[in-house]
A = this chain, B = another copy of it.
């Protein structure tokens, strides 16, 4: 199975290493040998149709910041022209344009390649259009790692909706916000102090705007709602309020009453919203620290909650690999028929 990797940051490198390490396992258990035939980053690309030495590319990237020379071709052309089966798209998320991921994914579909991605940008903007393009080209599109890192939240939602209806999804989808809110309520510190602490501990980016203002949660909510058929909304249609105005006093007052303030994302037939909300401390959804949690409200079978770490290079890479195995499974079924 020939793979093109677009994006070679933390997740891309973790994925390349995971695939290399697991090659004997994948051959034995799932009957395929993955072969990375191209790696593209913002600086250029390296290609080898016989399969790249992934460890060498990682070393080079870490030393020089680049995977290879600038080639005459752009990334989309390389994706379109390379003989391969699957594009693994892990370039940085852009919430406004979805680029460069959006162009990469389209280019893969048009050239009849399956796509596995953890890039939230293209999904938040063009979920339905991308699904349609994949169907039109008879290829598969998987994006488990876009919500919940290594925690298979989207798959779980689909299982819950087999023979039942998921009528509502409620989630805590951003570990940075949850870390900050937990810190505020536990240590009675201000938002600013809790944010500074999150940055010191590496839980918040240097520019944490997209976490704090709720947009990261909103994009994940859009992906879940579209995936489960609850909505066709894009991120522009989500009613979003971030956590920047939550006061330490409010957080503390909630704790006194056995409650907590959390950044809660909600999707149902009536619409999508993300806002700081009060929930009972005993609610299984009410996780602390950097955990993510999602509650699926099911018509017949009741509420279920799934909890996990929502980020991390190796964790997200494991979701990409799971998606790849599932694509491989349906490829063999198609062949057998």
Contacts and interface: CB of A to CB of B under 8 A. Distances in A.
Nearest to A296: B308
A159 B164 contact: no
B322 A307 contact: no
Residue from A300, A322, A324 having most chain B Cβ neighbours under 10 A: A300
Residue from A159, A162, A305 having most chain B Cβ neighbours under 10 A: A162
A63 to B, nearest CB: 26
Nearest to A333: B333
B304 A307 contact: yes
Given A152-B156, A284-B293, A321-B163, A308 B302 contact: yes
Interface in A282-306: 282, 284, 287-289, 291, 293, 298, 300-306
Contacts of A325: 162-163
A276 interface: no
Contact of A302 (B288, B312, B322, B324): B312
B155 A159 contact: yes
B318 A301 contact: yes
Contacts of A79: none
A160 interface: yes
Contacts of A312: 302
Interface size class of A (residues with CB under 8 A): 35 or more
B163 A302 contact: no
A164 B288 CA distance: 26
A282 B182 CA distance: 11
Contacts of A315: 300-302
Interface in A312-335: 312, 314-315, 317-319, 321-322, 324-326, 333
B318 A300 contact: yes
Contact of A304 (B289, B308, B314): B308
A159 B159 CA distance: 10
Contact of A301 (B151, B288, B302, B305): B151
Interface in A195-245: none
B309 A306 contact: no
Contact of A163 (B22, B288, B293, B333): B22
The 5 closest A-B CB pairs, nearest first, are A150-B301, A301-B318, A284-B307, A304-B308, A305-B307
15 contacts: A18-B300, A149-B301, A149-B302, A151-B304, A156-B156, A156-B306, A159-B159, A162-B326, A284-B287, A284-B307, A303-B308, A304-B306, A305-B308, A306-B307, A333-B333
Given A162-B325, A163-B322, A303-B309, 19 more contacts: A18-B300, A149-B301, A149-B302, A150-B302, A151-B304, A152-B156, A156-B156, A156-B159, A156-B306, A159-B159, A162-B322, A163-B318, A163-B321, A163-B325, A300-B314, A301-B318, A302-B308, A304-B308, A305-B307
